[in-house]
Amino acid sequence: MINVKKVCYKHRNRPVLNDVSFQIPIGKVIGIAGENGAGKSTLLRLLAGIKNPDDGTITLDHQPLTHRTCSRFAYLPDTDDFYSYLTGVQLFQFYETQFEDFNFLKALEVADFLDINIEQKIKTLSKGQRGRLKMAATLGRETTYYFMDEPFSGLDPMVRDSLIKGLIRFTDAETQTIVLSTHELYEVEPILDALLLLKNGEVISYHSLETIREEWQQDAVSWMKKQYRKE
């Protein structure tokens, strides 16, 4: 389990996250939602160990995050940081040299499922194809936690649908956890176990989808809008 306790983070002396606390259990799909600038991307980078909090703690199984423990995390950024001259196959080969947990054959299987031409150079791929390739490279890692920053942003509905199906097919619901930020709540709601809402760098609500549906009798989008109006 990952435990986030009273985490604060500033960028150029501007508060980005303030007193953020919550827990991430194993075997869940957790969505992070909120308006632009709410701190979603920063929170994911902190969880993945890419950034360090200015205050507060993030622990994994009650131990502080270290370079070694963060190696158990797979991070999918919202930007394309790949070498554009590589092909998909070459990208997977590069990942194999960088991550001990990278499963080359699994990455090929995900790429085939997502209908990616891995012989093409990345610079020739469309935005949708690059999004699929990023997902294949990320899911190729056999890790416990996957942190994904807007994996469906700017993609057409068909691509988003295939990526969502890929998430379910190529992760283990019992032993692996996915934490993703998204604006596409309608599409991703069916696979979410819980939803965390950020506003102005603070957690304003964090509930299971079961609670949202049964106690509030609302879908995720309606619930999110209601929570925002309360603040």
Map out the domains of the chain as residue ranges: 2-230
Alpha-carbon distances of 185 from 10, 115, 121, 177, 195, rounded to whole Å: 28, 24, 32, 18, 10
pTM summary value:
0.94
pLDDT attached to residue 231? 63
Q: Are 26 and 177 in contact (CB under 8 A)?
A: yes
Residue 167: φ, ψ to 5° = -60, -45
Residue whose tokens read 């590589």: 86
pLDDT reported for residue 228: 84
Contact (Cβ atoms closer than 8 angstroms) between residue 75 and residue 44: yes
Running along the chain, 231 residues long, what does each successive block of 10 average in pLDDT?
96 94 96 94 95 95 86 89 91 95 97 95 92 95 95 86 93 95 90 96 95 91 86 63
In contact, 197 and 40? CB cutoff 8 Å: no
Q: Which two tokens stand for residue 194?
A: 């819980």
Fold of 2-230: Rossmann fold (3.40.50)
